[in-house]
């Protein structure tokens, strides 16, 4: 199924059973995004959430892929709201089914590029955590500018994180790990929670993503970064929101 179908489907995608996704906030977002990104952002506003309850912590996963990691997080923390961002229409549809079948009411999915959504859909200081697991490494040097972790994007992530909030980034690609290290180190409002190490190769208790399972089978080196948004005076309250 090619991505060209994206804007051809009238209403809700016919491959998704209405009973699977009925009454989900996802439907509303999908319906708006379907028409095109410019129009979509006229209808979106900072503060998107699956429950609309501003008192609940909100956690974002960017590029959830097949969604195993996000499903695990959301099942384990029903009192927290989770937002999943994906650029792939097909993956968003498949994940919507999984969320509906799991009966999770604390997940909202958005099919839109993270670089666009992060500017339009999140207010300053509003996210408790952001997870970016194994975003595409674009291994050829000339394609490095296409990698997600870039200074401007990280500045936007730091803006939407609450003081003390955590940014988790993982990659299996060594050149990309160097780029991530350099960009995160340069981000003035973030502090490395793993210092003096730039990253670690294992994180106890962390669940494994779909791509990560493949990389582990191939014995690829894993790099897990964790940064925290600085609190006003430059210090970081590791382990919770300020």
Ligand X SMILES: C[S@@+](CC[C@H](N)C(=O)[O-])C[C@H]1O[C@@H](n2cnc3c(N)ncnc32)[C@H](O)[C@@H]1O
Nearer to ligand X, 163 or 210 (CB): 210
Instruction: Annotate 5-71 with DSSP letters as a single string.
Output: GGGT--SS-TTS-HHHHTT-HHHHHHHHHHT-HHHHHHH--S---SS--TTS-EEEEE--TT-HHHH
Closer CB to ligand X, residue 90 or residue 105?
90
- Region from 13-21, 40-48, 50-58, 63-71 binding ligand X, contact rule CB under 6 A: 63-71
- Residues β-bridged to residue 223: 171
d(CA 201, CA 90): 31
Q: Does 126 bind ligand X (CB under 6 A)?
A: no
* Residues 176 and 150 sit within 8 Å (Cβ to Cβ): no
| Interface positions, 71-90, toward ligand X (CB under 6 A) | 85-88
Tell me whether residue 62 or residue 236 sits nearer to ligand X (CB atom).
62
Nearer to ligand X, 62 or 130 (CB): 62
Distance between CA atoms of 59 and 242, rounded to whole angstroms? 15
Q: What is the residue whose two structure tokens read 């291994």?
A: 139
Return the number of other C-beta atoms located less than 10 Å from residue 215's C-beta.
18
Pick one of 114, 130, 154, 236: the residue that binds ligand X (CB under 6 A): 114
What is the size of the binding site for ligand X (CB under 6 A)? 21
- The pair of structure tokens assigned to 7 is 């804007």
Query: Per CB under 6 A, does 171 bind ligand X?
Result: no
| 113 sits near ligand X (criterion: CB under 6 A) | yes
Nearest approach in angstroms of CB 160 to ligand X is: 15
Q: Counting contacts by CB under 6 A, is residue 111 touching ligand X?
A: no
- CA distances for 24 relative to 66, 88, 107, angstroms: 19, 19, 9
At closest approach, how far in Å is the CB of 157 from ligand X? 12
Active site residues: 136
Contact residues: ligand X, CB under 6 A: 62-65, 85-88, 91, 113-115, 133-136, 148, 209-212
């Amino acid at each position: 199924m090619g991505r060209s179908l994206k804007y051809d489907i009238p209403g809700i995608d016919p491959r998704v059973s209405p009973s699977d996704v009925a009454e989900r906030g996802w439907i509303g977002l999908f319906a708006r995004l379907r028409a095109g990104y410019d129009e979509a952002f006229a209808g979106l506003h900072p503060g998107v959430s699956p429950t609309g309850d501003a008192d609940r912590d909100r956690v974002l996963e960017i590029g959830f892929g097949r969604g195993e990691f996000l499903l695990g997080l959301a099942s384990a923390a029903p009192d927290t709201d989770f937002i999943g961002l994906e650029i792939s229409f097909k993956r968003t549809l498949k994940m919507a089914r999984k969320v509906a079948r799991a009966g999770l009411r604390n997940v909202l999915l958005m099919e839109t590029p993270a670089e666009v959504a992060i500017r339009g859909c999140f207010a300053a200081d509003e996210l408790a955590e952001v997870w970016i697991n194994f975003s595409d490494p674009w291994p050829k040097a000339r394609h490095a500018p296409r990698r997600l972790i870039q200074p401007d994007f990280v500045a936007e992530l730091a803006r939407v994180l609450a003081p003390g909030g955590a940014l988790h980034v993982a990659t299996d690609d060594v050149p990309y790990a160097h780029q991530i290290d350099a960009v995160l180190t340069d981000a003035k409002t973030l502090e490395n929670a793993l210092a003096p190490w730039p990253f670690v190769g294992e994180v106890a208790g962390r669940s494994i993503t779909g791509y990560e399972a493949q990389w582990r089978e191939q014995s690829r080196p894993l790099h897990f970064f964790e940064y925290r948004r600085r609190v006003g005076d430059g210090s970081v309250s590791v382990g919770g929101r300020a």
